[in-house]
Structure 1
Amino acid sequence: MTYALYIMASKPYGTLYIGVTNSLQRRIWEHKQGIGCTFTAKHNIKTFVWFEMFDNIETAIAQEKRMKKWKRDWKINLIERNNPHWQDLFDSIGHS
C-alpha cells in the first residue's frame, strides 16, 4: 500500500492544510466536497497543490509532523518548487 502526504490551500498564499492518507483521490475529493475535515470546510480549503508518496505510513506521518512545524515560507517554497502557479493538481492524480 502507498500513502500520500499532501497540502491543500484556500488560494495562492492562503490558508494551508497538511494531511496524510492511504487514498489520495478519495481524500482530496472529500476535502473538495467539504466533508471529513471541519478545518478545511470552515476555511474553504479546496485546492490540492502538493503531494509526496510514501511506501511506509510511519515515514509519511513523521514527515507530516515535521512539515506542520515548518515556517510558512518553507511550505510555500515547497509548493512553488513544483507548482509555481498554485494549480489544482486533482485532475493529475487520475480520479474517476
Structure 2
Amino acid sequence: MWLPWDHTDPGAPKFLVFDSAAGGGIRMANDALRRRDLLDQIQQDSRFHTPAERCALYRLLAEFGRGLSMEEYRQRGCEEPLVHAGR
C-alpha cells in the first residue's frame, strides 16, 4: 500500500518495496539497504548457478550503477572479459 511522503517523521516509510508474497509483498518501508549488504547478498545468493551469472550482475553494477567500481568487480572474483551467462 502506497503512503504519501511524510518529511515530518524520520521513521515514516520513504519508499515502495516490490517483493514477492514470500518476501513480504508490496509494501512501504523506511529501512535502508546498504551497499555492502546488497553486495554480500549477491555473493551469497544460491540462485546464481555459475560464477559467470553472478559476475554478469556485478558487471551491470560496475558499468551502469554506482554500486560497484571495476576494482571491486575484480575483487569479487570477476575478470575481463565478461562471459555472458546463459545468453
TM-score (norm 2): 0.25
Look at both structures and tell me which one has the larger radius of gyration over its CA atoms.
2
Which structure has more relative contact order (CA 8 Å, sep 6+)? It is: 1
TM-score (norm 1): 0.23
